[in-house]
Amino acid sequence: MLRLKDFVFAVIVSLTLFSLTCKANNENGIKTGSENDTIKPRVIIMSDFPPIDVIPVKAPYGPPEKRSDPDDVQSMVRFLLYTNEFDVEALIASAGTKAYIARKQNILDMLNIYDQVDENLRKHDPRYPTADQLRWVTWQGRDRTYGKNGVKNLGKGMDTEASDAIIRIVDKPDDRPVFVCVWGGPYEVAQAIWKVKNTRTPDELKRFLSKLRIYSIAKQDSTLQWMLDNFPDLFIIVSGNTFRGMMSYAPGSDASLTDIDWVYKNINRGHGLLGLMYPASTTMDPKKAGVREGDTPSFLYLVSAIRGLNDPERPDQESWGGQYIQPDPAKNHWYDGPGPESVYKWRAEVQEEFACRADWMLP
């Protein structure tokens, strides 16, 4: 029988080892506290975020507005654990689910859960925002812009609270660029650009575009191609296949760091409500259970930059978000380079840090 003093000793040893692990991480470049305030990237997240009780899109049951890809929920849990590293300018709900609707309430529901752990997070880094601070910058996009319908919805009178928010954000007197992480379709940022192009001078449009950095996960609506076709100087990363290196079952990767057992042990169980919201499986295929998080490389690209691994202005450099090539030097557009391996090669470091931050959610 385990005696009380043995139990207490075991707990002390466990906490000490965890502290040493986090300390080692910090010594390897993981900075917390005010030391990074001057270099915090400005970030917008655009997500086709589903309800938190999402049903996998291929499930043969459930209403269309609840059926979607649950990996956005996985990515949002991880992102919220990194909000101390960023100036979060906006959380935007873009069109998604089988109903092709945008509902910011889905994100707000997630923030209600974040509200249960943010005080614990601030014990480790006071820069973690409050739930209210994130609610104040949550905006809704337009329904039914997914796929080919994106470009059809661009134009006069098609502004949304999200596209207007993007314009206000870029117009702020802040010299730092604005990184737009596109997890679904980029309609809202495209509509913002359309409006600026049609209401301002060419020089004003040039200044506006010069502050945008878009990292798009695949091409999920037609407005991305519209931006690629019309704005050669606009910084765009198109992760067509590279993002798949985040997935547990990526060929050649170490699945032991991302499988369902790892998720249960380090994130989903025993880590409070926010950890519990991390879906242990995002598909109907049990062979693909565990981490999917196809959208996560869009912000890991910036996390590794904060760590000093890469310059975010140089997508050709190795990063936690992958490595990209510029096929046409006349265009500031970047596409898959080495592919998924350029993401999963960092899996050990990425997952170690994720597990450490998940422990921060605990009292």
Domain ranges of the chain: 39-245+293-340
Q: Is the pLDDT of residue 244 over 90?
A: yes
Q: What CA–CA distance (Å, rounded) separates 156 from 153?
A: 9
pLDDT at residue 22, rounded to an integer: 56
* pLDDT tens, position by position, 16-49: 333 434 543 444 444 543 444 448 999 999 999 9
pLDDT at residue 17, rounded to an integer: 35
For residue 107, the one-letter residue type is I
Q: Is the pLDDT of residue 149 over 90?
A: no
Q: Is the pLDDT of residue 66 over 50?
A: yes
Q: Is the pLDDT of residue 63 over 80?
A: yes
Q: Is the pLDDT of residue 233 over 60?
A: yes
pLDDT at residue 146, rounded to an integer: 84
Over range 57-61, report the average pLDDT. 88
Residues β-bridged to residue 325: 335
Per-residue pLDDT band at 159 (split at 50, 70, 90): very high
Over range 95-105, report the average pLDDT. 93
Q: What CA–CA distance (Å, rounded) separates 278 from 171?
A: 35
Least confident of 25-29, 112-116, 222-226, 298-302: 25-29
pLDDT at residue 305, rounded to an integer: 97
In the chain, alpha helices (H): 4-27, 71-80, 104-114, 118-122, 131-135, 149-152, 161-171, 187-199, 202-210, 223-230, 260-263, 272-276, 297-306, 341-344, 347-360
Q: Per CATH, which fold does 39-245+293-340 belong to? A: Inosine-uridine Nucleoside N-ribohydrolase; Chain A (3.90.245)
pLDDT at residue 24, rounded to an integer: 39
Q: What percent of the chain has pLDDT over 90?
A: 83
For residue 114, the one-letter residue type is Y
